[in-house]
Structure 1
């Protein structure tokens, strides 16, 4: 073929666009694949839960949420307990008589503080247990949190008791 041959004059772009790759039956090697940029929405390759750091981060977030719940219960319990004292002081100042008290706010406040302490201790115990299960590979997903169910039922019962109390004491 000579230099004036029209096939040799084709530019590289024309050669690329006019030639079609032949279908191959071989799968590409991993070394020949191009590395894609990081995309947080792209699914990660599956790996066991005990090796996935996201599982440990989720466990820590759950632990901190339980601690926050326990601290909230203790704070509300303290406020309820002190609010009864505040009401007794106000009534004593206005009437100059000793205030009649049932002590309900004191005991309900103490119970809420105690419930907050129990929630925090339970959170610590459950977190240590979960990390040990993850490390040993005995963790089973999909279990119902017994602690959450018990706390929910106790708080629901406390709410019903307070609603009944507020209806009776007008």
Structure 2
């Protein structure tokens, strides 16, 4: 009895359903990262709104908490965009792209996730400019 577990290998060429399902999963993570980024920006700006109401008991404490939580959400969104693109790339390496429809670009969604991650980084720099 062997305790070594062998990796699963795909039998023969992969059909287009598998590749398109992987792409749909990547796009779902893309939507999730955009939603988290939007929520983080909203939380950060809501803290600024509370600061503008000039309530002293809220001003000092609330602004720092909303800023930290908002930046954390934007960072998480950027991380999810990069990590899901990396996972998708691993899936493409495991599968044979010969199952894709002719002329279909399998890497477009991966590029889109990379752009979303870069925009998340730019948003973090924009939000951090008050601190720096």
Judge same fold: TM > 0.5, yes or no: yes
Aligned to 2:73: 112
Cα distance in 2 for partners of 1:58, 1:110 equals: 31
Cα deviation, 1:130-161, whole Å, max 9, x if unaligned, reads: 0110128xxxxxxxxxxxxxxxxxxxxxxxxx
Q: Which has the higher contact order (CA 8 A, sep 6+)?
A: 2
Runs of at least 4 residues off by over 2 Å: 48-51, 97-100
| Equivalent position of 1:122 in the other structure | 83
Residue 81 of structure 1 pairs with residue 51 of structure 2: no
RMSD over equivalenced CA pairs, Å: 2.3
Superposed CA offset, 1:20-58 (max 9, x none): xxxxxxxxxxxxxxxxxxxxxxxxxxxx57431000110
C-alpha offsets along residues 46-77 of structure 1, whole Å, 9 cap, x if unaligned?
xx574310001100000000111111111100
Aligned partner of 1:53 among 1, 4, 16:
16
Gap regions ≥5 residues in structure 2:
1-10, 98-132
Deviation at 1:100, TM superposition (A): 2.9
Matched, 1:101 2:60: yes
- The 3 A distance-change label for structure 1 pair 63 and 115 is same
Aligned to 2:120: none
In our comparison, the structure showing a higher alpha carbon Rg is 1
TM-score, normalised to structure 1's length? 0.46
Higher helix share: 2
C-alpha distance in 1 between matches for 2:58 and 2:41? 21
CA–CA separation in structure 1 for the residues paired with 2:52 and 2:37: 23
Aligned length: 86
Unaligned runs of 5+ in 1: 1-47, 137-170
